[in-house]
Amino acid sequence: MQRAEWLKAEAFLSHLALERRLSKHTASAYRRDLDCLAAFCDAEGIAAWRELKVHHLRRFAATSHGHGLSPRSIQRRLSGVRSFLRYLVREGEISVNPGTGVSAPRAARKLPTTLDVDQMAHLLAIGGDTPLAIRDRAMLELLYSSGLRLAELVGLDLGDIDLAEGLVRVTGKGRKTRLVPVGRVAREAVAAWLRQRAGMAAIDERAVFTGTRGGRISPRTVQARVSHWARRSGLGQRVHPHLFRHSFASHLLESSGDLRGVQEMLGHANISTTQIYTHLDFQHLAQVYDKAHPRARRPSRERKDDDGPASNPRQR
């Protein structure tokens, strides 16, 4: 790649830092993406960005996959490349963005991990009457009761919670707001925390949940407190704040079957995002079937009919 062409990439990286004010971590990720693209261009004999075509970028994605990069990482790499090429279009360096029609290999969709109802109840049984225990009990109950994201919980202000009506106003992704119900147990836990909050919060602090220094609690602190109580409960698995959201959605969908309602409460723009929880529900139903249905249970060694052992219709 010619030096003049790489200077255009440097201008783009400066644009990210100075105009878009992206973090150093994000800017470094963009730089790595462009380093990889430049190395690919050198190997392909491409001397200028304007020479890049759609088939080149498809080969770039395929080469990345061949080097062991995961589909998710390739998606992120292509996203960075598309942003750079979009910048070149804006600057008049190229006429069209060849990355628009290029996609990464489809990533396998992993089902989210959840806790069952008994595990969640055990985790939420936080003892103690210290201000920290009362605050943590309120945070964890609210995470599970209303399916909040970590950033949504941390961002709550005092005016966002109406305990009398049992509602919380949440500002989610894209600055979109939604109203979500708050269950009885969570309302009681939050009310108990609000009675203690004045002794911990700074006078002018509006945040519902505060740290020991009086300011709004940080996401890292919430993660640490969730891990603390998970270890205390002896669950024996990694527990993180988003696990409460997954469990909320799974349990609510299992009980109600109302996919649209769960979508609204989670704040999902696309119902396909919510539908992943139907797969979790089906897994649960399949396990119940295998354990309970007479034609699904494996026969004991002593119990055979005239035709031999019964068979499991789900195994045929």
Residues catalogued as catalytic: 149, 173, 242, 245, 268, 277
Calpha distance 217→243 (Å, rounded):
19
C-alpha distance from residue 85 to each of 18, 32, 71, 315 (Å): 18, 15, 21, 51
Calpha distance 76→53 (Å, rounded):
19
Adjacent-strand bridge partners of 179: 169
Closest to 182 (Cα-Cα) out of 202, 204, 156: 156
Calpha distance 38→237 (Å, rounded):
43
* Order of strands, sheet of 177-181, starting from the edge strand that comes earlier in the sequence: 161-162, 167-171, 177-181
The three-point CA angle 98-100-106 to 5° equals 120
The three-point CA angle 164-138-169 to 5° equals 50
